[in-house]
Amino acid sequence: MDNVLEDMERESSGKYDWKHIVAHSFGIQNAAHYFGITIGPILILPIPSRSGLAAIGLLLAGLSFGIALLWIWLVKGEDVSNSAENESEMDHRLGYRTFTAHSRMSNCQRNMAQLYHITSRICESPPKEPSNLGSGLGEDDVSISLSGKTSADEMPAIKAGNPGLEPEEEVKVIIVGAGIAGLRAASVLQRHGVEVVVLEGRDRIGGRIHTTRNEQGVPRDIGAAWLHETSQNRLVKLISSLKLDYYYDDGLPLYYTEQGRAGAQFKAKKVADEFADHCEWFYDTHPDAPDQSVSDFINKFVQEHELITNDERMWAPMAVKEVELWLGTSTEFSSSKHLSYFITERNLYMKGGYDNIVKWTAESLKPNTITLNHIVDRISWADAQTPCDSRQPCAVECHDIHGELSTFQGDAVISTLPLGVLRHGLVAFEPSLPDDMQHALTKFSYGALGKVFFEFADVFWSKDNDQFMYYPTPPLAVEDLYSTSAGSDSSHSSEVDSILNYATVTINLWIMTGSKELCVQVAEPLTQRIEAMTDKRALYKFFEPLFRLLRTEPYKALPRLLNIETTKWTQDPLAGFGSYSADKVGDEPELMMDALENHKDSRLQFAGEHCTMVANGCVHGAFATGETAARNLLRTFNIEYDGGDFVSIA
């Protein structure tokens, strides 16, 4: 009985034709069983209490027997005379699936029927392949969320949604990818009674949100680490609800050049800020002007600027390289027309690890929703208007880590494949994607932000500042500072392979998490090189000059290095060989948004950080697109939206 009650609590089955179930379940033979069920408990009661209850039992038994005969007469007889017509009508109404009333019974209903000895045959649904329910964070970490065995004490105080509406017809959706967009889409669909299968190529959920932990249990977010744009980021609501620890980046950063601290009055940084404003004004007033790289445009800007010094003119193009650590790509590649530079919104660091957001998003999903270690090879899809031979018009072909092939069928597909995967054509689509979508993919680029975590035995950097920005020396300054006589053997970092030739931002994890760690962020093309390095000694040697600059006591030797951990996104085909979308010269990301809008009624939907102009490249942007894709399918299948939960988009 306990198992039955658990099934009742866990499952929300689709609507079924209750008249057919009654018709097949009740007969004269079954009525006799119900008669026994009613009288049996009375016979084992103490003798003094039997007489009164016996009369009631007989009355109820007779009533049950009469109802059974009435239904046989009204329903089952009608079914016998019209069975062929009814089955044909049901097939036509469902459009894609033929099944009996018994096969519609949920596990809960089947268990209840077996418990009470209904003798009519109860058909089992075809068995599904077992799902690997591991977590993005390690299988043990998410077994609470995904196994269905969570105790009341283990559950967080708030869930991603409540069991909700039931569709008029059974609908099944295949979601490709168990990142934040795919998990959110799955949560919304299941809340509305839609059957969902999530296919994930990794052995974890979370996608490009990936939290590891050092030996002391301190989290390292290898992927996303910040809640950006906190004034409009609905995920911020989870901070207090889930009692998550956080840190706002309100501290003053320190600026460095090769010569040391640049000081608070580093005017070249102010000129770079001014250039960002100029970009916005220029393309607002000259919308048809050709795009140009940030590097080219700022060099032109400072040459025409009459009110800046020669030093500011020389250093501003270096200061603007800070944008590289937002976009994940070099200023030589990035677009001036779409420059998202120096975001003024506050940013919130997830001190306890971003995996808490992933867990919350996944915890409302039913058991066996997610299948891990299944890499998708092909997506076959069709619009609702497209005739197709199969009863379920969409199919996803994949292979597991052993090379075994499998196919999952459904009524619709949501692809949360990263933009890089789509651009590289790593997954086939049958038929090919619409022309406007294919064109949009060529006009939206992919960046590569990389991170390297260095753990030391002691803290040697400032404990009062949360970020350290380093600007490389301008070429003209190199000539002035390092011009030497013919016999000199002095050298400059530009002639030496060193991190000091690149712009970096170093995150002070000591001030955020209490760990004696620095996280150095780099942009492409340096990212590809760093992530391909396997020799940790060589890696540390490359970054060592930067650490020497950051010392608060320059006369002291650097402390012992304990650990290095490097991102590998550019080596990862499942990430599309990069980190997130980036606007490069000539890009038109609006085309992607137009294509998504044009096909919002399609049975093939897309979600992910690249599917929004607002908060693209951010977790809350990806989260919102998962909900949008799910709501598009709800509309396609005429399922009324329930209004959402407290983090739903408007």
Contact 241, 158 (CB under 8 A): yes
3-state DSSP helix/strand/coil % of the chain, to nearest 5 = 40, 15, 45
Q: What are phi and psi of 387, to 5 degrees?
A: -65, 140
Q: Above 60 in pLDDT, residue 393?
A: yes
pTM score:
0.74
**289 shares its domain with 336:** yes
CATH number of the domain within which 361 lies: 3.50.50.60
pLDDT of residue 55: 54
pLDDT of residue 119: 29
pLDDT of residue 476: 73
Percent of the chain at pLDDT > 90 equals 63
Domain presence at residue 475: yes
What's the average model confidence in pLDDT over 284-303?
A: 96
Domain presence at residue 131: no
Total of domains in the chain: 3
Domain presence at residue 241: no
pLDDT of residue 502: 98
pLDDT of residue 59: 63
Q: Above 80 in pLDDT, residue 213?
A: yes
**364 shares its domain with 440:** yes
Cα Rg, the chain, nearest whole Å: 31
CATH number of the domain within which 562 lies: 3.90.660.10
**509 shares its domain with 594:** no
Q: Which of 411, 406, 391, 399 is nearest to 374 (CA)?
A: 399
Which of 547, 575, 603 represents a domain boundary (last residue)?
Answer: 575
Mapped onto helix, strand or coil, the DSSP state of residue 271 is: helix
Domain presence at residue 294: yes
pLDDT of residue 497: 80
pLDDT of residue 60: 62
The CA–CA distances, whole Å, from 218 to 34, 109, 176, 414, 561 equal: 60, 46, 31, 34, 17
Q: Which of 88, 478, 112 is nearest to 259 (CA)?
A: 478
Which of 49, 83, 115 represents a domain boundary (last residue)?
Answer: 115
pLDDT tens for 235-268 read 999 999 999 999 998 888 999 999 999 987 789 9
Q: Above 70 in pLDDT, residue 423?
A: yes
Least confident of 44-53, 102-111, 563-572: 102-111
pLDDT of residue 341: 55
Q: What are phi and psi of 488, to 5 degrees?
A: -80, 150
Q: Above 90 in pLDDT, residue 597?
A: yes
Which of 538, 557, 575 represents a domain boundary (last residue)?
Answer: 575
DSSP state of 73: I
pLDDT of residue 441: 98
pLDDT of residue 389: 47
With a CB cutoff of 8 Å and minimum separation 6, the contacts of 348 are 226, 227, 230, 236, 239, 246, 247, 248, 249
Q: Name beta bridge partners: 429.
A: 379
CA dist., res. 103 & res. 390, Å (int): 19
Domain presence at residue 486: no
With a CB cutoff of 8 Å and minimum separation 6, the contacts of 321 are 331, 471, 472, 503
Contact 228, 345 (CB under 8 A): yes
pLDDT band at 66 (very low <50, low <70, confident <90, very high): low
Mapped onto helix, strand or coil, the DSSP state of residue 436 is: helix
pLDDT of residue 504: 98
pLDDT of residue 61: 58
**178 shares its domain with 289:** no
pLDDT of residue 339: 87
**266 shares its domain with 340:** yes
pLDDT of residue 164: 45
Domain, as residue range, for 608? 139-210+352-444+582-636
Task: Return the structure tokens found at 297.
Answer: 């445009």
pLDDT tens for 523-563 read 999 999 999 999 999 999 999 999 999 999 999 999 999 99
Least confident of 28-37, 254-263, 406-415: 28-37
Q: Above 90 in pLDDT, residue 639?
A: yes
CA 53 to chain centre: 59
Average pLDDT along the chain: 79
pLDDT of residue 63: 66
Mapped onto helix, strand or coil, the DSSP state of residue 584 is: strand
Q: Above 80 in pLDDT, residue 480?
A: no
**337 shares its domain with 463:** yes
**17 shares its domain with 99:** yes
pLDDT of residue 221: 97
Domain presence at residue 381: yes
Q: Which residue would you say has higher pLDDT here, 80 or 98?
A: 80
**407 shares its domain with 286:** no
**454 shares its domain with 520:** yes
**7 shares its domain with 79:** yes
Q: Which residue would you say has higher pLDDT here, 504 or 54?
A: 504
Q: Above 50 in pLDDT, residue 338?
A: yes
Domain presence at residue 219: no
Domain presence at residue 127: no
**7 shares its domain with 104:** yes
Percent of the chain at pLDDT > 70 equals 69
Q: Which residue would you say has higher pLDDT here, 116 or 159?
A: 159
**460 shares its domain with 515:** yes
